[in-house]
Amino acid sequence: MSEQKLVAELRTEFGKGFARRARAAGQIPAVIYGHGAEPIHINLPGRATTLAVRVSNALLALDVNGEEHLALVKDIQRDPIKQIIEHIDLLTVRTGEKVTVDVAVHVIGEAAIGAVANQEATTVSLEAEATHLPTFVEISIEGRKAGEHVHASDIVLPSGSELLSDPETLIIHISEATSEAEAEAAPAE
């Protein structure tokens, strides 16, 4: 995944009122922290930032007054009603540095006839280089029969990634499909 380049402004005012004025002006308040350095309070361009952070584990190349910062999105606070971004916490990273991220699990293929796949875990924790973070991992269930399981240790990881989740974590369980007549009869019993 390549980094998204954004130009940020250094923020000197703080508080609820200033944050509201910044959001009204189309900016998103944010803070960059990590590596023992003092936190840097910034404002990001609203639309460009919203588009950049739509991807999980977004890597941002920030230009703050001519100074380059490479940062991962650590946390996003959203308005519960409007779902607009109110604040972003960014973690500074270095090229070549390994970071821990949660990555989505995508299921591909179809189970055997008469079987249904139940996804028990939607993410797994990986350690990967900050500039080469996978956006997801895939698990194929093509032709798997009822009673089979897929554990975290069965996932084929992208090169340079290491699994941090428990290898025995159940990701997918394949079970027998129940017919509508069996499903309706079960509660009656």
pLDDT tens digits, 134-160? 888 999 888 888 888 999 898 888 888
DSSP string, 121-167: -SEEEEEEETTS--SEEEEE-TTPPTT-EEEGGGS-PPTT-EE-S-T
Q: Residue 168: which pLDDT band, with cuts at 50, 70 and 90?
A: very high
pLDDT of residue 84: 85
Q: Which residues contact 51 (CB under 8 A, 6 or more apart)?
A: none
Q: Residue 19: which pLDDT band, with cuts at 50, 70 and 90?
A: confident
pLDDT of residue 69: 87
In 3D, which of 52, 133, 55, 53 has the Cα closest to residue 99?
133
Mean per-residue pLDDT, 66-93? 87
Return the CATH class of domain 4-93: mainly beta
CATH no. of 99-182: 2.170.120.20
Q: Which residue spans of the chain are classified as CATH 2.40.240.10?
A: 4-93
CA distance 59 to 73: 7
pLDDT of residue 2: 61
pTM beyond 0.85: no
Amino acid of residue 29: P
Q: Residue 96: which pLDDT band, with cuts at 50, 70 and 90?
A: confident
Q: Which residue spans of the chain are classified as CATH 2.170.120.20?
A: 99-182
